[in-house]
Structure 1
Amino acid sequence: MAARRLSSLLSRSLSSGSASKLLSQGRSVSRFSTAAASEELITPPVHIEYTKHLINGQFVDSASGKTFPTYDPRTAEVIAHVAEGDAEDIDRAVAAARKAFDEGPWPKMSAYERSRILLRFADLVEKHSDELAALETWNNGKPFEQAAHSELPMLVRLFRYYAGWADKIHGLTVPADGPYHVQTLHEPIGVAGQIIPWNFPLLMFTWKVGPALACGNTIVLKTAEQTPLTALYVAKLFQEAGLPPGVLNIVSGYGPTAGAALASHMDVDKVAFTGSTDTGKIILELAAKSNLKPATLELGGKSPFIICEDADIDRAVELAHFALFFNQGQCCCAGSRTFVHERVYDEFLEKAKARALKRIVGDPFKKGVEQGPQIDSEQFQKVLRYIKSGIESTATLECGGERFGSKGYFIQPTVFSNVQDDMLIAQDEIFGPVQSILKFKELDEVVRRANATRYGLAAGVFTRNIDTANTLTRALRAGTVWVNCFDVFDAAIPFGGYKMSGIGREKGIYSLHNYLQVKAVVTPLKNPAWL
């Protein structure tokens, strides 16, 4: 169900009728579609209630009294001022989580009762999904229809999935060579420090918090400074669901202060981070130098998307477009290296360019809009610098390449052809709406080139040949390979990377392993004759 919901935007666009209808609803401006199906505008919230840290069940100011602004990426205007946490606030939050774990009811509560609280929380999220989707769009810039119809249902589904796991975590009995009874216990690891990114604030909150709570841990979570608002909102819903004080603590702030303090804290038993590879290295070093705490890292990617010569080109174009441009290109697993077989390259390129030109860019609160703004000025300028490097190389700019509109952080959907493997746009994670199309001839060649990257998060394959699909899925060095689909994120499907794309897996049963300790208990048998 969740996988179908998250890919529903793609499914609708792959239908030729619905795609034609959607594209005909925009009006052409600067060769790109803008506005949307209608001028209907969903009004964002006008009052932000939760801007303080959540520590030990209370919303509190920063110890320093400092705040920082959070912005609307559509306009670059300030939405609200949020409490700015630093090491002292992290200390307070960790102390609350430590006490809640060591003395509080959560780890000692029956797993069934923990499950019921998670289910109540999921029900509350479902009840408030419209407000949450509007807040997510306002703070992040993603299309409201994406947030409301794909991401919020996935959040609900994921928490119900983890609620189902809570009372099914158990150990084993182990045969031993001798008169001993041996059993293993799977116990919560303790206080989990979690740091989430800005591209999918609510979903990344879920990927981190869901399994940690299901296993009985307590949490200190640092939001991304760009998008702190929705995590604070759902924290209040957790309180309504009956989560005891101190079990979930949320501190907003910057990486070098609050984030570093959390990763290096001696009383944090485990750290989980999603973000860039460079920051992941810092997190891992801080975790090791403090108390050698284990780290789960979900980092960057430069995913190959391979279009084979037998592909249905129209479907391949739409899928490759979705794989790259979804969420303004701000996906760690985006199919940002589109490899196309030389026999279908020209046809694919022509249609890929036409599709990008028809992409509906505009206010994410308007119906039918496919692409909103980039998250902030820093990311906006970074993407434009990569586009400039592509233009200055021997790649061909097919369309786009400039800002869209006169305010906010909108960028035209951009397509480059004749891209070579050694170009920056083919090597670096751009994290924006920039599609690089490369040509290949042989299967062995494209495997070698696809794997010639420091990343290994995901890959896509489009072919009608089962032998080709089997060959590529086994040869590609990536944590996820999608065949004739992309960005399918079911609650039970593990996600994580090879190489410098990270350590560990999230979602599914694999995510539980990140938050459990295994204890062996050995007891002598008094009467071994009964063995």
Structure 2
Amino acid sequence: MSDAVLPEISRNYIDGEWVETGERRTLINPSTGEPNGESCEADVALTERAVAAARRAFDDGPWSRWTPEERCEVLKDVVDHLMERTDDLVDIEAANAGATKRTGSIVHVGIALSNFDHYAEAALTPMQEALPPTENPYFAPKWVVREPLGVCAGIVPWNVPLLMAIWKVAPALAMGNTVVLKPAPATPMSVQVLAGAFDACGLPPGVFNLVLGDAVPGEALASSPDVDKISFTGSTPVGKRVMQLAASNVKKVTLELGGKSANILLDDADLDVAIDGSIFGFTFHSGQFCESGTRLLVPEHLHDEVVERLRDRLGSVVIGSAEDWDTDLGPLISQAQLDRVAGYVDLGCEEGAKVVAGGRRPPHLDAGGYFYEPTVLAGVDNSMRVAQEEIFGPVLCVIPYRKVDDAIAIANDSPYGLAGGVFSEDVTAAVEVARRVRAGTLWVNDWHLGVMDAPFGGYKQSGLGREHGRQGLEEFCETKAIHVSQARPEQRLFGMMMSG
């Protein structure tokens, strides 16, 4: 990788201008633990300046008044610009977010740009639809009109910075809104390229704004009376805080929060498929995905065989630098996250679980970087903290069950409900089980598959609202009903109800 592709200083972007500040944060390469850049962080005043720019651009500027075709054309130009930077973006996501080259090229960048293209096309979504006319007490045609909300703030996590930014920004812009984006403080590099693409492609000033930092700009956005919508992805405790602050002006909120997803192996599961699928479910991006399958529910009579197969298969997983194409499992994002994961494994052992694979830093990578072996805990009871709390690392809890009803009860015995999975050769039976699991996305004989035309979001403390699909677009719209009376004066309600 050429160091030239990494932004030396990540800056704020406000009202069409790059803005540096004196408040700096050192950015760390997770594969080495060494610094690889700085970011300029925003305070409350600079955040308010970004919101004011977005407010002016929405209220007075052209974007919300442009035709869908005009917005689509600009967004398509942004996609083309980003496509030209694909290799740079893959390098950036490896060096800044710890995404392996394969994961980065396929998901962090490849799917991200495909998603942006999808939302550019979504700008052409009809914003008006006719309803059947009212017939009684008089004839009145009526329509549903979808209008942009106004200023939308997006707050994104560190695990997939570019993809999550696009999930917030692209649908908001496609629907005619203006945006203020706040990336996670540790991973601002790839959104620098995104902001640069908007700048290069002629997005009007103030339509897209970028503020960097931690809780200070985040809380300012969530509480601002000039922000009409918050779209947040991150932990459940922080999501609760965002929701609390957003209540100050009853702004619209979408929250995609934590998960502790259950993966149910039925008796007839093809174990060759199920083992690989289960490993992918909890190790993808080193387990740093909210919908990771971190609870594996296994029939009692298959428990020992499944554990042995998991241990054997994990032995072939290549752990190493995110910047090496041959790496299967890269680093965790930070020393703090490494300590968190290791602490949960220790806690699981204290609770009575047994480490049957992993449970340590890889000996050959002990000198630098935030690496942790994919870890399997057996003998886990669902009441244990390791089975109830989100670890956000490559740790799998294997939980035995006796009957399918027991498995479903265990799966639903969680404060979360983001995702789940079922492995079985009987698709009909698997789908029936999937329907009984209280979670927003269920996979059968697969994991992590996400598509833009299907809604994504959680039950319970996994979130509020949906991203993607028609449902996700409507999260960035206000809905208005228009009724047109064609009645004679004496037929109208006010003619019948008012005297004199």
**TM-score strictly above 0.5:** yes
- Residue in structure 1 matched with residue 311 of structure 2 by the alignment: 353
TM-score normalised over the length of structure 2: 0.94
- Residue in structure 1 matched with residue 450 of structure 2 by the alignment: 489
Q: How far has the Cα of 1:445 moved from its partner?
A: 0.5
Matched, 1:101 2:58: yes
- Residue in structure 2 matched with residue 293 of structure 1 by the alignment: 251
- Residue in structure 2 matched with residue 520 of structure 1 by the alignment: 481
Q: How far has the Cα of 1:46 moved from its partner?
A: 5.9
- Residue in structure 1 matched with residue 350 of structure 2 by the alignment: 392
**Cα separation, 2, equivalents of 1:190 and 1:267:** 9
Q: How far has the Cα of 1:153 moved from its partner?
A: 1.9
What secondary structure, in the 3-state scheme, does the structure 2 residue paired with 1:78 have?
Answer: strand
Q: How far has the Cα of 1:162 moved from its partner?
A: 1.1
Which of 210, 214, 238 is matched with 2:198 structurally?
A: 238
Amino acid at match of 2:394: P
Check whether the contact 1:277–1:500 (CA below 8 A) recurs between aligned residues: yes
Check whether the contact 2:427–2:444 (CA below 8 A) recurs between aligned residues: no
Q: How far has the Cα of 1:241 moved from its partner?
A: 2.0
Check whether the contact 1:44–1:135 (CA below 8 A) recurs between aligned residues: no
Matched, 1:91 2:41: no
**Cα separation, 2, equivalents of 1:239 and 1:306:** 47
Q: How far has the Cα of 1:43 moved from its partner?
A: 4.4
Matched, 1:211 2:168: no
Superposition RMSD in Å: 1.8
Matched, 1:366 2:324: yes
**Cα separation, 2, equivalents of 1:477 and 1:392:** 30
What secondary structure, in the 3-state scheme, does the structure 2 residue paired with 1:206 have?
Answer: helix
- Residue in structure 1 matched with residue 102 of structure 2 by the alignment: 145
Cα deviation code 1:193-221 (max 9, x no counterpart): 11000001111011111110110000011
Cα deviation code 1:31-72 (max 9, x no counterpart): xxxxxxxxxxx445465255110000100123xx21111111
**Cα separation, 2, equivalents of 1:202 and 1:47:** 14
Which of 402, 425, 437 is matched with 2:386 structurally?
A: 425
Check whether the contact 1:461–1:472 (CA below 8 A) recurs between aligned residues: yes
- Residue in structure 2 matched with residue 27 of structure 1 by the alignment: none
What secondary structure, in the 3-state scheme, does the structure 1 residue paired with 2:168 have?
Answer: helix
Matched, 1:439 2:407: no
Q: How far has the Cα of 1:371 moved from its partner?
A: 1.0
**Cα separation, 2, equivalents of 1:239 and 1:459:** 40
Query: How many pairs are equivalent?
Result: 486
Which of 333, 350, 354 is matched with 1:375 structurally?
A: 333
Q: How far has the Cα of 1:443 moved from its partner?
A: 0.5
- Residue in structure 2 matched with residue 250 of structure 1 by the alignment: 210
Matched, 1:259 2:197: no
Amino acid at match of 2:218: G
**Cα separation, 2, equivalents of 1:428 and 1:209:** 30
- Residue in structure 2 matched with residue 509 of structure 1 by the alignment: 470
**Cα separation, 2, equivalents of 1:45 and 1:284:** 40
- Residue in structure 2 matched with residue 187 of structure 1 by the alignment: 147
Which of 460, 465, 470 is matched with 2:421 structurally?
A: 460
Check whether the contact 1:162–1:210 (CA below 8 A) recurs between aligned residues: yes
Cα deviation code 1:394-417 (max 9, x no counterpart): 211112111232211111111111
Amino acid at match of 1:433: P
**Cα separation, 2, equivalents of 1:44 and 1:308:** 48
What secondary structure, in the 3-state scheme, does the structure 2 residue paired with 1:438 have?
Answer: strand
Check whether the contact 1:50–1:233 (CA below 8 A) recurs between aligned residues: no
Cα deviation code 1:104-146 (max 9, x no counterpart): 1100111101001111111111111000110011001110121
What secondary structure, in the 3-state scheme, does the structure 2 residue paired with 1:361 have?
Answer: coil
Amino acid at match of 1:370: D
Check whether the contact 1:157–1:491 (CA below 8 A) recurs between aligned residues: no
Check whether the contact 1:126–1:152 (CA below 8 A) recurs between aligned residues: no
What secondary structure, in the 3-state scheme, does the structure 2 residue paired with 1:437 have?
Answer: strand
**Cα separation, 2, equivalents of 1:57 and 1:160:** 23
- Residue in structure 2 matched with residue 282 of structure 1 by the alignment: 241
Q: List 4+ stretches of structure 1 deviating above 6 A.
A: 526-529
Cα deviation code 1:274-318 (max 9, x no counterpart): 000000000000000x21101000000000001111111111110
Amino acid at match of 1:191: V
Matched, 1:157 2:114: yes
- Residue in structure 1 matched with residue 494 of structure 2 by the alignment: none
Check whether the contact 2:9–2:38 (CA below 8 A) recurs between aligned residues: no
Q: How far has the Cα of 1:469 moved from its partner?
A: 1.0
**Cα separation, 2, equivalents of 1:303 and 1:409:** 24
Check whether the contact 1:45–1:134 (CA below 8 A) recurs between aligned residues: no
**Cα separation, 1, equivalents of 2:78 and 2:213:** 25
Cα deviation code 1:123-182 (max 9, x no counterpart): 111111000110011001110121113332211211111111112232223322324343
- Residue in structure 1 matched with residue 369 of structure 2 by the alignment: 408
Query: Alpha carbons of 1:50 and 1:58: their partners in 2 closer, same or farther (altered >3 Å)?
Result: farther
Amino acid at match of 1:304: A
**What are the equivalent positions in structure 2 for 1:299-310 lying under 5 Å apart?**
299-310=257-268
Check whether the contact 1:45–1:135 (CA below 8 A) recurs between aligned residues: no
Amino acid at match of 2:223: S
**Cα separation, 2, equivalents of 1:108 and 1:409:** 48
Q: How far has the Cα of 1:319 moved from its partner?
A: 0.4
- Residue in structure 2 matched with residue 117 of structure 1 by the alignment: 74
What secondary structure, in the 3-state scheme, does the structure 2 residue paired with 1:232 have?
Answer: helix
- Residue in structure 2 matched with residue 325 of structure 1 by the alignment: 283
Cα deviation code 1:215-240 (max 9, x no counterpart): 00000111100101111111101222
Check whether the contact 1:84–1:252 (CA below 8 A) recurs between aligned residues: yes
Q: How far has the Cα of 1:471 moved from its partner?
A: 2.0
Amino acid at match of 2:74: I
TM-score normalised over the length of structure 1: 0.89
Identical-residue share of aligned pairs (%): 39
- Residue in structure 2 matched with residue 21 of structure 1 by the alignment: none
Q: How far has the Cα of 1:528 moved from its partner?
A: 9.0
Matched, 1:72 2:33: no
Amino acid at match of 2:153: G
Gapped regions of structure 1 (runs ≥ 5): 1-41
Query: Alpha carbons of 1:149 and 1:470: their partners in 2 closer, same or farther (altered >3 Å)?
Result: closer
Check whether the contact 2:99–2:108 (CA below 8 A) recurs between aligned residues: no
Check whether the contact 1:360–1:370 (CA below 8 A) recurs between aligned residues: yes
Query: Alpha carbons of 1:526 and 1:50: their partners in 2 closer, same or farther (altered >3 Å)?
Result: farther
- Residue in structure 2 matched with residue 26 of structure 1 by the alignment: none
